[in-house]
């Protein structure tokens, strides 16, 4: 294709309608037709990136291969498309203003008065077009965070208005996602909120080309016609987005509604192929028709908000489908785990995953969970902080170093089995200063982690500041905690596992970030298989007793 096409996804009426899922689903359909497609997210908050945000504020922080701390929607993009995103795929207002101010300080504006228009909007337009200028993509989909009418989103809407005028109608289109609520008292769907949302969009100079309507009930032809007339779109461009059993159903629902067909028509692109969703639908079939069920305990301190562990939960779905097993996840708050409650809470679990996190709140509960998994031969996976808790638990209860800890939790600990990296000790700025992005790791042949991957050289994504302290490595290994994954450049331990345990693995990196529908992560596949094997053994033992 000679020229990159741009699609902008805006939202109205309410937040959390699923702009990211709609964008990812459309991208999947276009990709399945052979178009090279990517997605980016424009976030209207003033934080430079989500890296310093509390998970309760914005869900998990998703890390890309190149080390960018980004919005969790980028995880959806990668899981749907199986294509890596990058720093260019997520832009915040904070980053926009930071860049403009730095340019002003360098004198690049030649003494001009710096204003929202044209300086901020020009910066936004530049960021939108970065992905389209390198020749890698035919179509760039840009999701604009927030809802139309928000004061924070106005510069983005204005930038899109200018860009659509500059690119031409055949090279850019607007998809507006809105809500069509059902009023039980009236017994009918109401279109007025959508009409007002589209009116607000038009007041900013933008006309919706396609309406995607989130709804709990089917849209009748009469409602579609009414929306088309009042919102100034073709009836074929009024797309129903009804509640789905799983987000992975949405591409098929959008295919049925013809979202990809309408999009191609409006962008003057050939509509000569049918999306090839065979592999996608094979995954869906396995996911919806499992042959067994298991229960995994997710031990964390942000469990009240499931988006805090979004990538982990999705990785369970991918690995469960691969094993033809339904993975029931029981979220357990680590602050409420103690010796009196642990047997009751963990009695029916087939495996334990101790989740990542920062700070000392809830860590003792995580350590107790690790101890339970170790002593009861329960399949265990520790991710990042979860791996570090496994090292601390082993040092305390096997090596008898009772004060063993991480210097993150106790800076004065006598036995810092987890310690701050030397290059981190002088860091004062928190944002973007951790060990981030993909790092090499060499695995020990014959280990459980090597068996999971089927190779000795891997590359995984990191997001942490503290590390396994190699001063304790020899002592830990002698007692049975093996270091089976090492970073070849730094010599830092990336993977630990227990020699005398059926499946006990801790990884310093975040495998969940690289799990997709097309390529479920091998660590999660192996963990779910181990949990399934544990479940079968327990059931067989129970039957034998009867």
Domain ranges of the chain: 5-281, 290-541
Residues 176, 384, 464, 497: which is the catalytic one?
A: 384
> How far apart, in whole angstroms, are the C-alpha atoms of residue 182 and residue 216?
7
Q: Is 374 marked within a binding site?
A: no
* 213 in catalytic set: no
Domain at 5-281, CATH from 3.40.50.300, 3.30.1490.100, 3.40.50.1860, 2.40.128.260? 3.40.50.300
Question: Encoding tokens for residue 531?
Answer: 């949990």
Q: Is 143 marked within a binding site?
A: yes
Scanning 376-415, the segments in alpha helix (DSSP H) are: 385-397
* 474 in catalytic set: no
Residue of 383, 318, 247 lying closest to 520 (CA atoms): 318
* 512 in catalytic set: yes
> How far apart, in whole angstroms, are the C-alpha atoms of residue 463 and residue 301?
17
Residues 60, 78, 257, 512: which is the catalytic one?
A: 512
Question: For 135, left (φ over 0), alpha (ψ -120 to 50), or beta?
Answer: left
Neighbours of 420 (CB within 10 A): 17
Q: Which residues contact 477 (CB under 8 A, 6 or more apart)?
A: 483
Q: Is 261 marked within a binding site?
A: no
Task: Tell me the backbone φ, ψ of residue 390, rounded to 5 degrees.
Answer: -65, -40
Q: Is 385 marked within a binding site?
A: yes
Q: Is 537 marked within a binding site?
A: no
CA 368: distance to chain centroid? 28
Question: Encoding tokens for residue 120?
Answer: 């901020």
- Residue 535, CA distances (Å) to 68, 295, 312, 354, 523 in order: 38, 9, 21, 19, 18
> How far apart, in whole angstroms, are the C-alpha atoms of residue 325 and residue 317?
9
Residues 287, 450, 510, 521: which is the catalytic one?
A: 510
Q: Are 453 and 368 in contact (CB under 8 A)?
A: no
pLDDT along the chain (546 residues), means of 10: 85 86 96 95 84 69 88 90 91 92 92 92 94 90 92 94 93 95 88 93 94 93 95 94 93 96 95 92 96 95 83 96 96 86 88 88 90 95 95 95 91 91 51 74 96 96 89 94 94 93 96 96 98 90 70
> How far apart, in whole angstroms, are the C-alpha atoms of residue 281 and residue 106?
53
Say what the pLDDT of residue 51 is.
67
pTM confidence score: 0.91
Q: Is 56 marked within a binding site?
A: yes
What is the enclosing helix (H) or strand (E) of 224? helix 221-231
> How far apart, in whole angstroms, are the C-alpha atoms of residue 378 and residue 352?
7
Say what the pLDDT of residue 142 is.
96
Say what the pLDDT of residue 34 is.
93
For the stretch 452-486, pLDDT in tens is 999 999 999 998 888 999 999 999 999 999 999 99
Q: Is 34 marked within a binding site?
A: no
- Residue 53, CA distances (Å) to 45, 61, 90, 236 in order: 11, 8, 15, 41
**Domains 5-281 and 290-541 in one fold:** yes
Q: Is 129 marked within a binding site?
A: no
Q: Is 331 marked within a binding site?
A: no
Q: Are 40 and 88 in contact (CB under 8 A)?
A: yes
Q: Is 423 marked within a binding site?
A: no
Question: Encoding tokens for residue 433?
Answer: 């200063």
Structurally, at CATH architecture level, domain 290-541 sits in 3-Layer(aba) Sandwich (3.40)
Mind spelling out the 3-state secondary structure of 62-120? EECCCCCEECCHHHHHHHHHCCCCCHHHEEEHHHHHHHHHHHHHCCCCCCCCCCHHHHH
Q: Is 194 marked within a binding site?
A: yes
- Residue 205, CA distances (Å) to 119, 158, 174, 202, 228 in order: 19, 8, 12, 5, 18
Say what the pLDDT of residue 429 is.
43
Q: Which residues contact 210 (CB under 8 A, 6 or more apart)?
A: 173, 174, 175, 176, 233, 237, 239, 259, 262, 263, 266
Q: Is 192 marked within a binding site?
A: yes
Place of tokens 């101890």: 371
Say what the pLDDT of residue 319 is.
97
């Amino acid at each position: 294709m000679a020229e990159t096409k741009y699609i902008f996804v805006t939202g109205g009426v309410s937040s959390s309608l699923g702009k990211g899922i709609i964008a990812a689903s459309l991208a999947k359909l276009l990709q399945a037709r052979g178009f090279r497609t990517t997605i980016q997210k424009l976030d209207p908050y003033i934080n430079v990136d989500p890296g310093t945000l509390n998970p309760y504020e914005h869900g998990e922080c998703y890390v890309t291969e190149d080390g960018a701390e980004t919005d969790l929607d980028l995880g959806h993009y990668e899981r749907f498309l199986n294509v890596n995103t990058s720093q260019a795929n997520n832009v915040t207002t904070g980053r926009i203003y930071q860049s403009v101010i730095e340019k002003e300080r360098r004198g690049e504006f030649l003494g001009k008065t710096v204003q929202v228009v044209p300086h901020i909007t020009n910066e936004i337009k530049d960021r939108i077009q970065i992905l389209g200028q390198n020749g890698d993509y035919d179509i760039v989909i840009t999701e604009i965070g927030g809802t139309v009418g928000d004061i924070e989103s106005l510069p983005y809407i204005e930038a899109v208005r200018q860009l659509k005028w500059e690119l031409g109608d055949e090279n850019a289109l607007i998809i507006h996602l809105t809500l069509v609520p059902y009023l039980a008292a009236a017994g009918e769907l109401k279109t007025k909120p959508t009409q007002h949302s589209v009116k607000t969009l038009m007041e900013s100079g933008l006309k919706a080309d396609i309406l995607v309507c989130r709804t709990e009930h089917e849209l009748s032809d009469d409602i579609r016609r009414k929306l088309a007339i009042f919102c100034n779109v073709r009836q074929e461009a009024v797309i129903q987005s009804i509640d789905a059993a799983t987000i992975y159903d949405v591409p098929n629902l959008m295919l049925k509604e013809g979202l990809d067909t309408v999009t191609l028509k409006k962008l003057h692109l050939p509509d000569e192929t049918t999306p090839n969703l065979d592999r996608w639908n094979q995954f869906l079939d396995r996911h919806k028709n499992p042959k067994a069920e298991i229960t995994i305990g997710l031990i964390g301190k942000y469990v009240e908000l499931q988006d805090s562990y979004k990538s982990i939960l999705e990785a369970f779905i991918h690995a469960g489908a691969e094993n033809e097993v339904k993975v029931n996840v029981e979220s357990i708050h680590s602050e409420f785990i103690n010796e009196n409650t642990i047997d009751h809470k963990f009695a029916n679990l087939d495996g334990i995953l101790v989740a990542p996190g920062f700070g000392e709140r809830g860590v003792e509960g995580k350590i107790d969970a690790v101890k339970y998994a170790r002593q009861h031969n329960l399949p265990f996976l520790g991710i990042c902080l979860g791996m570090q808790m496994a090292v601390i638990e082993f040092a305390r209860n096997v090596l008898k170093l009772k004060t063993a800890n991480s210097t993150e939790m106790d800076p004065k600990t006598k036995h810092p089995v987890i310690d701050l990296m030397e290059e981190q000790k002088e860091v004062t700025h928190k944002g973007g200063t951790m060990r981030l992005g993909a790092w090499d790791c060499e695995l020990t042949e014959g280990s459980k982690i090597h068996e999971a991957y089927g190779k000795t050289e891997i590359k995984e994504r990191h997001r942490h500041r503290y590390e396994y302290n190699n001063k304790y490595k020899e002592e830990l290994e002698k007692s049975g905690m093996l270091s089976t994954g090492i970073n070849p450049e730094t010599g830092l331990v990336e993977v630990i596992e227990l020699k005398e345990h059926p499946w006990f693995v801790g990884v310093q990196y975040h495998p969940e970030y690289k799990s997709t529908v097309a390529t479920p992560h091998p660590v999660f596949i192996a963990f779910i298989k181990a949990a399934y094997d544990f479940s079968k053994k327990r059931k067989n033992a129970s039957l034998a007793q009867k």
